[in-house]
Structure 1
C-alpha cells in the first residue's frame, strides 16, 4: 500500500480525474501548432529553400509533441499554483511557450541520445535518426531544436524583466545535462565494458546532472520566474526538493527500462546491452557474490539477447525488484519530509507552495510508464 501523505490539505495528491487531465493535456497541445508555425515561418523568412523548410517542420512535428509532456505542462501547472488563481488566456499561452521550450530541450536531448545509444524506438515510433533521409543529419536537427528555444524566448519574453533569467536557466540547465551525459558516456562506453567504473555514487552523480535539473528543477524555476519570485533562497529550497525527486524519477526509469514493456514505456529497453550505468546493475554489483559478479562481468553490455537474460537472472537472484520497491517507498517518504520544510500557509501570493512539489511527486509515484 502507498504510504499516507502528510495530513495537511497541501499534501493531498492533485487528482482532477481522467477527463480533467485529458483536457489539460489538450489545452497544452493546442498551443504547439501556433509556436510550430512561428518557427516554420521564421525559417521561411530567411529565404530557405522549400525542401529545407519542409524538413525543419517534419523535425518539429516528429520529435517534439509526442511525449508524455509532463515537463512542459508542469510549467503551466506550477505557475497557476504559485499565483493562487487561474491563469488568464495570455498568461496561459506565455507559460505554455515556456513549457514547450522545455519540451524542445527534451527533444534535442533525445534525438542526440538515441544516436549515441544506437536506440531503435522512442515514444512508440522509430528513432528520428533511423528514418530514411535523416541518418547523421539528426546531429544538426538536434541543434535546430535547441536553437528554436531561444527564438521563442526572444519573441515572447524579450521585453520582460526576467528575460535574462530565463536565458540563464536554459543555458545553465543545458550545460548541466550535457555534463551528466558526458560522465555517463565516459563511465559506460558501449564499446568497453568495465564494471569497476560503476558505483551507486557515480550513478547518483550522473542522474542528478543528466536528468534532475532539466526534468524537475527547470520547469518549476521557470514558473517561479513567471510568478515573480526573485529571492535566491526560494530557488535553493526548490532545488533541494526537486533534485532528489529527479533522482528518484531516473531510478524509476532505470527500473522500467528493464521491467517495463515497450507498450508501457514507448521504447525497447536497452540499458543492459548498452552498458548503461543504471541503478539496477549498481545495486546488483553492491550485493553480488563473486560468482554473481563473474556473470555480470561476462554478460553485461553485450549485444546478445542470451547475455541480457543472464544479467536479468542475476537481478532476480539478488532480489533487485524488491530492493527497488523498498527504495521507492523510502524515497517517497524522504521527499515528503523535504516538502514539509515549506510553510503550510505561505505569507503571500507568489511564494513557494507545497502543492507545486506534491503535484510532481504524485505524477510519478509508482508510475508504470
Structure 2
C-alpha cells in the first residue's frame, strides 16, 4: 500500500467516529431514529466519496509546520487535525449538494446527485444545511477550550460567505438558459474562481493547520493568503484549460464548459482577442447543448492560439509564485515548503 493510500485510509478511519458524535447529539435531542438514519445515510453519501485533497491538506500542512511525519503524529494530535480536515470536507459536501440542485446536475463522484436519489428530492436542500451545521457542532465539541476557537469559527464563516459570493456571480454571469457573452470578462472570471474555489480549497486548509500549529500572527496569515489565492486561481485556470484541451482519457471526464456556457478563462481569452467575425461565431455557437457547435468553438480556440496563451500564462504565474514563496518570512514558524508542496502538485498536472 502506497503512502498516499495509507494516508487516505487513516483519514477516512476518523470519519466513523465523527458520525457517531453527531448521532449522539441527535439522540440527546431525542430525534426519531428514522431521522437519525436519514442523516447518517446522507453524511456517508455526500462527504467521504471525493478525492479528500482539502481535508488531507490540513494534515500535510500541519506536519510541515511542526517538522513531523504523518505516521509519527500521536493519536490525539492526528485526530484533532483530521477533524478540521473533515470539517472542510463537510463544507465541500454542503457546497456540492446545493450546487448540484442549482445546476440541475445529474451525477457527482460517479453516482447520482443526492437530490436525484429516489425519495430525496428537495429534502436535499435541508440536507445540505445539515452538512454545514455539522461543522459547527464538531468545532464546539472538540475545540471550544482552545484559544483559537473563535478564529476557527470566523474562518469557516468568512470562507463560506466568500464561496457563496463567488457562486452568486457564477450563477448570474453564466446562465445556461440565456447565453449572453457580453456578461463575461476576465475580471469576473477572476472574482468567481478566487471566491468560489481558491479561498476554501487552498487558503482554508493551510490557515486551519496554522492555527493548530500556533502560527496565528496576522502577518503570517496574510503571507499565506497572498500566495494561496493566486495559486488557487492558477489551479482553476488550469482546470478550464484541461476541460477544453484535455482528452477524456487524460482528465477522467468529458469537458462540458463550452456546452454549459461557463465563464471560463478560455472563452474570456478568446473574447478578448476575437475579430468581429470570430465574435459572431462565438455568439452563435458557445453555450449550446450541441456537439457540432461545441466542435466549432474548439476549432476557433485552436485557430486563435489559446493553448499557447495558456502555456505562456502558466510559466509566468509559476515563476512569480516561486519568487513569492522564496521571500516568505519564516521567522514566526511559517514555512515556504507549505506552498511549494501545493505548487508542485499543480504544475503541469494533466488531470
Under TM normalisation by the shorter chain, which class is it?
Answer: over 0.9
Change beyond 3 A, Cα 1:125–1:330: farther
Q: Which residue of 2 aligns with 1:37?
A: 20
Structure 1 stretch displaced more, 43-52 or 309-318 = 43-52
Task: State which of 10, 26, 31 in structure 2 corresponds to 1:48.
Answer: 31
Name which of 74, 77, 83 aligns with 1:91.
Answer: 77
Q: Is the 8 A contact 1:123 1:266 kept in 2?
A: no
SS in 1 for 2:2: helix
Equivalent pair of 1:122/1:266 in contact (CA under 8 Å): no
Provide the secondary structure at the position in 1 that maps to 2:165. Answer: helix
Give the Å deviation of 1:263: 6.2
Aligned runs of 1:1-369 on 2, under 5 Å? 19-86=2-69, 87-260=73-246, 268-343=254-329, 346-347=330-331, 351-369=333-351
In 2, Cα distance between the equivalents of 1:38 and 1:259? 45
Q: Match of 2:349, SS?
A: coil
Shift of 1:72: 0.6
Between the aligned partners of 1:195 and 1:162, the Cα distance in structure 2 is 45
Displacement of 1:269: 3.2
Cα distance, 1:260–1:30 mapped onto 2, change above 3 Å = farther
**Deviation of 1:33 (Å):** 1.5
Question: What displacement does 1:220 show?
Answer: 0.5
With over 3 angstroms needed to count, the CA separation of the structure-2 counterparts of 1:249 and 1:157, relative to structure 1, is: same
Q: Cα distance, 1:138 vs. partner?
A: 1.6
2-structure distance, mates of 1:119, 1:267? 14
Separation of aligned partners in 1, 2:314 and 2:109: 24
Contact 1:124 1:262 in 2 (8 A): no
Q: CA RMSD in A?
A: 1.8
CA distance in 2: counterparts of 1:233 and 1:341, whole angstroms: 13
Which stretches in structure 2 are left out of the alignment for 5+ residues?
A: none
**Partner SS for 1:367:** coil
Moved segments of 4+, more than 3 Å: 259-269
Report which structure shows greater RCO (CA 8 Å, sep ≥6).
1
CA distances 1:233-266 after superposition (whole Å, capped 9, x unpaired) = 1111110000000101111222233344566656
Aligned length: 348
Relative to structure 1, the CA distance from residue 264 to residue 145 in structure 2 (aligned partners, 3 Å threshold; closer, same or farther) is farther
CA distance in 2 between counterparts of 1:193 and 1:218 reads 33
Select between 119-128 and 102-111 the one with higher mean Cα deviation.
119-128
SS in 1 for 2:348: coil
CA contact (8 A) 1:212 1:246 kept: yes
Using structure 2 for the length normalisation, give the TM-score.
0.94
Alpha-carbon distance between aligned partners in 1 of 2:233 and 2:214, rounded to the nearest angstrom:
27
Distance 1:59 1:257, change over 3 A: farther
**Distance (whole Å) between structure 2 residues aligned to residue 51 and residue 252 of structure 1:** 44
- 1:232 deviation in Å? 0.7
Give me the whole-angstrom Cα distance separating, in 1, the residues matched to 2:247 and 2:143: 41
